[in-house]
Chain A
Amino acid sequence: MIWVYRLGFLVLLVVLWILAAQRFGRNVVPTPLATFEAAQRLVAEGRLMSALGASLTVYLSGYALAVACAIPVGVVMGGFRLLGKTLEIYVFALAATPRVAFIPLIIVIMGLGVDAKIFIIFLGALMPVLINTYAGVLAVDEELVEMARSVGSSRQRIFISIVLPSAVPFVVAGMRLGATIGLINTVVAELYTAVSGLGGLLAIYGNTFRMAEYFVVVITLAMVGVVVTEVLRHFETRLARWRGAN
């Protein structure tokens, strides 16, 4: 049923798009049909797929690296209260600094290549996952911890069987946030460092007013975002089957 509504809204969007194309002229806003034709062209030339491949490679590498670092650090910070208290203020400070501010420094140190791009994405996706993991570990139900103590569980067992599972929903929420920010940073990285991937196409077509092609790239980015967050949402519901009963 929800798909019918979603499809209905898509139709509405396309209608608005057509109206906008008429209102602003097709040199500024291309019609859906022109955009579709541009997409066919780009796919036939192979440019879209190679750009998408390049973007996904840096995006998924940076994101995977961020998740792989953020979860253990968040868990350790939550598990050792003193360490967490010491570090949290720096983590929050880093999270609040616009990551774009680091790009010149990153370019000076790492150059303009793939490494620099992956690092920019890593930096963007790291903080939401880390902060959410940390918060999830701290948000454990103290009553459940006491119950586990009362049956004679060791500290390690309480951490593994009570604290970590209860942090999972937080971690997955953080991963979803991180995935979105990582995608934004992918485009930012491709614009600021060596121009490549979808961000690169965006710059080329935007600067040369090839709006139909430009629109194809924007829509492709939106679709990547949808696919990634939907995959994580699916993952989330699978993990939290017990929640469905409530």
Chain B
Amino acid sequence: MSVVPEDLAGGEHGQRSGLPPAIRFDGVSKTFASAGGRTAVLAIQDVSFTVEPATFVALLGPSGCGKTTILRLADGLIQGDTGQVEVFGAPPKPGPNIGFVFQTFRLIPWASVQDNVEFALKSPQFSQAERRERANRHLELVGLAEFRHAYPGELSGGMKQRVALARALATEPDILLMDEPFASIDAQTRELMRIELMRIWTDRRPVVLFVTHSVDEAIILADRILLLGPRPGRTVKTIEVELERPRWAYDARAEPRYVELRSYLSERMRELVLSDPSSEFYGRDLAPPPDR
């Protein structure tokens, strides 16, 4: 097990002069038409943040705070109404340099596991042999090499998400966008998937934007947490996690910093939900968890 270099282990993010940040949002707003098309819904309002290379950022917030919208903007799948989105100094374009892992896996049901992974490699920059080799290597990485001829319908939820992860990693992207990737997986598998993700990340160091509504997931994975508020989605606070990596090597949950962050973030999340007029808990007098 390699020791993580000091300057990358969270905390101070090396502001390498001259290089543009990996991701930059500057005053970005986005409005969608509602389901009926009658009213416009402001999904995110005036969101600004920057992410330096090799940083793992968690976007944490209750539902309705535009987390998915931020990822789609960062991939260039949609354009903002106002403000600017830049990835390595240019407007983002979907492609092999940005990997996207979706909450609902989005595997092609009629294609084998192997073909699903190769689907991300179909750009002319990869030869046929290289596609095969990369798909095999990444299926091996997520432990699914012997399932390469299976169809997605034959796999469990956790396995499907590993295929989706292999697909996103196969191009070896500089940026990995993950939209609640472990939300539809059972708790035990989720725990192991986090460790798997941390190992891969430690090895490759892509920029990760990881959407989650789980406080624990955000703390255990991220260098930095962007706390988002709902309706309209907006950034509320940025928090550096400052827990030593690799975090699977010790019981990070017992660290004072973890406990402190967890109770702070849980409290803020609770406030955000209770003050959201669209929430079913709006205005209810729910006592905070008792102090121990």
Contact = CB atoms under 8 A, between A and B. Distances in A.
Interface string B152-163: 111000000000
B151 A147 contact: no
A216 B150 CA distance: 48
A149 B109 CA distance: 17
A243 interface: yes
Interface stretch (A117-125, A150-158, A197-205): A150-158
B110 A147 contact: no
Interface stretch (B32-40, B115-123, B216-224, B250-258): B115-123
Nearest to B100: A150
What interface size band does chain B fall in?
20 to 34
B128 to A, nearest CB: 16
Given A242-B109, A242-B153, A149 B77 contact: yes
Interface string A230-245: 0000000000111101
Interface in A135-183: 143-144, 146-153, 157, 161-162, 165-166
B67 to A, nearest CB: 16
Contacts of B93: 152
A246 interface: yes
Contacts of A146: 77, 106
Contacts of A157: 122
Given A150-B77, A150-B98, A151-B122, 16 more contacts: A144-B106, A144-B108, A146-B77, A146-B106, A147-B106, A151-B94, A151-B119, A151-B171, A152-B93, A152-B94, A152-B123, A161-B108, A242-B109, A242-B153, A243-B109, A245-B150
Contacts of B109: 242-243
Interface of B: 75, 77, 93-96, 98, 100, 102, 104, 106, 108-111, 119-120, 122-123, 150-154, 167, 171
A31 to B, nearest CB: 51
B154 A151 contact: no
B106 A143 contact: yes
Nearest to B121: A151
Given A144-B106, A165-B110, A242-B153, A153 B122 contact: yes
A147 B108 CA distance: 9
A162 to B, nearest CB: 7
Interface of A: 143-144, 146-153, 157, 161-162, 165-166, 240-243, 245-246
Contacts of B75: 150
B102 A246 contact: no
B108 A245 contact: no
A147 B102 contact: yes
B123 A246 contact: no
Given A151-B120, A152-B94, A242 B100 contact: no
Given A243-B153, A246-B153, A149 B108 contact: no
B98 A162 contact: no
Contacts of B122: 151, 153, 157
A157 B108 CA distance: 14
Contact of B94 (A149, A165, A241): A149
A153 B95 CA distance: 8
B172 to A, nearest CB: 13
Contacts of A143: 102, 104, 106
B151 A245 contact: yes
A214 B98 CA distance: 69
A151 B95 contact: yes
A152 B124 CA distance: 11
Nearest to B167: A151
Contacts of A162: 108
Which of B95, B98, B108 has most A Cβ within 10 Å?
Answer: B108
B153 A152 contact: no
Contact of A152 (B95, B104, B152, B167): B95
A66 B100 CA distance: 42
Nearest to A141: B106
